[in-house]
Amino acid sequence: MQLRYWIEHSIHPLNNAGLSEGHAILMKEQSSFVHSLARLLKWWDHTLLVPGYKHGRSFRMELFAIIAGQEEQFDMARALKIALAKIRDFASLNVIFARFYDRDCVPDCVAAAKPLLLDPSNPLNNMLDQTALPHFLTLARFAAHTLGRLDLMERGATVDIFEPQPVAWDTSFTNFRVKEGSWIISWQLNAKTVQTHVVPQKMPLLELKHVSALANLIGLSQWGQGALPIEDKLEAVKSTINKHFTGGTKEWKETSQSFSSKDVLVVSPVHDGLGSCIIVGFDVEKRDENAASTDSKRS
């Protein structure tokens, strides 16, 4: 159920085109199964806080989807586990995509390297080079933790396999955090909204990625509840916000605050056939650098 939701309700920023024409061609040649797996991996990657790791994240996830798809083309859960295991064990990876160049074009010193994830369009570009290693050490740890969640889920436990990491979500904003007491929530009819998305009314665009991960949680929290009244779905979103962002202390009361005054909005359709959408608004504030450092060490 969780995997189907993430495949079918992808947030727009995760679906950017490849980094070059060669990348785009390579992905077009893949099966629909690999494309679905790539969307899952990019969504998973989107929930991870890896400071300083910005460029090429989505395309690397696509490459891991291709690698896993070479071993599994039918069972999505198994393919996801294969891909995450490859990320966890990236240090032993040695993969050359000989699509746009012959293997003979790859220098011996490059071909023998580990870890190696060779750019399909450039036989000299190792996408797991020294600049990527610090980030992949963190990704490997997160992948191992997610694999543990998948094992628990397969044993019947109720587990959110895409819960953001690190779980200490006060670290989810690198320069900003949610201002205490600024949360507001409501619903409205908007048939044009088909996917959960973020409206950064006043928030710097550079911080949007982390808010989009927050939006993922909000979108999932009210999905799969069938024909429940919109009020019940609102309560589910409030519970999710309390669990992950307010420490369970937020009391939701009527307020005079308006959505137009908020720094950020998250709009999430409930797929009830009526065009109903849940809207969450909040403000952000500059983080205290000393507190941010303490939080990072704690997480």
pLDDT digits (tens, 9 = 90+) for 45-69: 877 877 777 778 888 999 999 999 9
Digit-coded pLDDT (tens) for 99-121: 787 878 888 888 888 999 988 88
Q: At what angle do helices 76-88 and 57-69 cross, to 10 degrees?
A: 120
Region 242-262 average pLDDT:
79
Region 256-276 average pLDDT:
84
Segment among 24-33, 75-84, 116-125, 164-173 with least mean pLDDT: 164-173
Q: What's the rounded Cα separation, in Å, for the pair 210 and 215? A: 9
Q: What percent of the chain has pLDDT over 90?
A: 16
Residues with Cβ < 8 Å from 152, sequence gap 6 or more?
A: 159
191 band by pLDDT with thresholds 50, 70 and 90: low
**Structural domains in the chain, sorted by start:** 2-154 (1.10.1410.20), 169-294 (no CATH)
Q: Does the structure show a pLDDT above 70 at 216?
A: no
Q: Does the structure show a pLDDT above 90 at 166?
A: no
Q: What average pLDDT does the chain have?
A: 77
Q: Which pair of tokens denotes residue 280?
A: 């969450």
Segment among 75-79, 186-190, 215-219 with least mean pLDDT: 215-219
* Secondary element (H or E) of residue 287: none
Backbone phi and psi for residue 269, each to the nearest 5 degrees, phi listed first: -70, 150
> Would you state the pLDDT for residue 26?
83
- Write the CA distances from 31 to 27, 37, 38, 49, 69, integer angstroms: 9, 10, 11, 29, 9
> Would you state the pLDDT for residue 249?
67
Q: What's the predicted TM-score (pTM) here?
A: 0.57
Can you give the length of the chain in residues? 299
Q: Does the structure show a pLDDT above 90 at 27?
A: no
> Would you state the pLDDT for residue 289?
55
